[in-house]
Amino acid sequence: MSTDAPSTLDLDDPATDPFDVARAAADHIATATGVSGHDVALVLGSGWGGAAELVGEVVAEIPTHEIPGFSRASVEGHRSTTRSIRVERPDGSTRHALVIGSRTHLYEGKGVRRVAHGVRTAAATGCSAVVLTNGCGGLHISWRPGQPVLLKDHINLTATSPLEGATFVDLTDLYSPRLRDVARSVDPELPEGVYAQFPGPHYETPAEVKMAGIMGADLVGMSTTLEAVAARHCGMEVLGISLVTNLAAGISPEPLSHAEVLEAGQAAGPRISELLARIVRAI
């Protein structure tokens, strides 16, 4: 029996416009939270979950799977609630942030529409910017577990796209230079890198990591790129921040495990959460 909220709009039906489902989801969020519109969205990956409480005052919290088009979280370490947060900016003005719980990963087998649904819903609520975070493997010995890295570009190795039909979108500046400048104004020491998304759920082999490095990648993971493309198509500015939770295969002397990812995220959590909260308030 499905745990998804009943809806006449079936996101998995090719005849359904996914943007109709996003608008229905936005309407549900507005009704359930009492907030008519949001300004910035956050998708919190492994290690980043503690940031929401530091961003501002939580106005409302709703189960994500009750929102049309969303499912329960199926990955340990991912929270299954969506929150509306009132943010007090440095200039004294107020904005609302939408923190989307239960990111859907491509490897869950629910389809690319489900992967893109979160950012499309954020855009439908009025968000003009989205912050996409993740936990990932690093290709540089100098980036130890716990290091946050701004994304300046990505390599999509999933062999798919969230866009359907003859939909052509310029991705030259996909990861907003303006938002990266904002992030560096908060922490001038933040390094930048290129993120390569593999489909997962298995970790990359040493040869695949070496290939990604030759192609120009500095980080490898299993999320973010499809969401970033969908967000750009919706007209949102995109800021991507990775947390290096482990050295990638062939670089790390130890076997890779999800427990290691969670442990590194928990250790870095308080520090990166405060960093992210400061960046969101500045945005």
Catalytic positions, please? 204
Distance CA 183, CA 43 (A): 16
Beta-bridge partners for 83: 61, 99
Distance between CA atoms of 224 and 196, rounded to whole angstroms?
9
Contact 117, 226 (CB under 8 A): no
Task: State the Cα torsion 53-36-181-145 to the nearest 10°.
Answer: 30
Annotated ligand binding at 105? The verdict is yes
| Nearest of 240, 241, 245 to residue 265 by alpha carbon | 245
Q: Does 102 appear as a known binding residue?
A: no
Would you say how long the chain is, in residues? 283
Q: Is 246 annotated as a binding residue?
A: yes
274 marked as binding residue? no
Q: CA end-to-end span of the chain, whole Å?
A: 41
Say whether 78 counts as a known binding-site residue.
yes
Q: What is the DSSP string of 195-259?
A: EEE---SSPPPHHHHHHHHHHT-SEEESSSHHHHHHHHHTT-EEEEEEEEEEEPBTTBSS---HH
- Residues making up the annotated binding site are 46, 78, 103-105, 135, 204, 223, 246
- Residues making up the annotated binding site for phosphate are 46, 78, 103-105, 135, 223
- Residues making up the annotated binding site for a purine D-ribonucleoside are 204, 246
